[in-house]
Amino acid sequence: MKKQQWLFSLILLLPTLALADIVVVVDKNSPITSISQSQIRQLYLEGNGKVGGVYLKPLDLPEQDRLRDRFYLAAVGKTPAQMKSYWARMIFSGRGVPPRSVSGVSAMKVMLENNPERIGYLPASEVSGNLRVLYEIR
């Protein structure tokens, strides 16, 4: 049954994947200049980590945000339900804390700017000159 739910979720989300590109970004002054999808996956499944020797703390959009759903499906390979279950297990076992959640895209931008240890994701159209794009998800 879970496989059917995952497939159904994927079918529902496929049309939205064709919408605006999602980009993974950091502050323009961050020493990080690139990141791989596997590093993004690791950061968002561990709640923090190192990339190129630099410690990064990921930011997340609220659970209800469709961009978050698209990000996790495309970058991490998990549906919203799978992520919720994953973090429930990690928190319960004391093995992790999920990425810090912000209230929306505007708050994400504010938290990323002038904060070189933070990493997050935005619609490509929302990237300002104060942010550096590390990875593009299509």
d(CA 59, CA 62): 10
- Could you say which of 3.40.605.10, 3.10.20.30, 3.40.190.10, 3.90.1150.10 is the CATH number of the domain covering 2-137? 3.40.190.10
Q: How many CA atoms lie within 13 A of 1 on its CB side?
A: 0
Query: Can you tell me the distance from the alpha carbon of 59 to that of 70, in angstroms, rounded to the nearest whole number?
Result: 15
The whole-number pLDDT of residue 16 equals: 44
pLDDT at 18: 46
Burial (CB count within 10 angstroms: exposed 0-12, middle 13-18, buried 19+), residue 71: buried
Domain ranges of the chain: 2-137
pLDDT at 5: 60
Those residues of the chain that have pLDDT short of 70 are 1-20
Amino acid, res. 135: Y
Contact (Cβ atoms closer than 8 angstroms) between residue 121 and residue 74: no
For position 138, what pLDDT does the model report?
Answer: 82
Phi, psi of 93, deg, nearest 5:
-85, -5
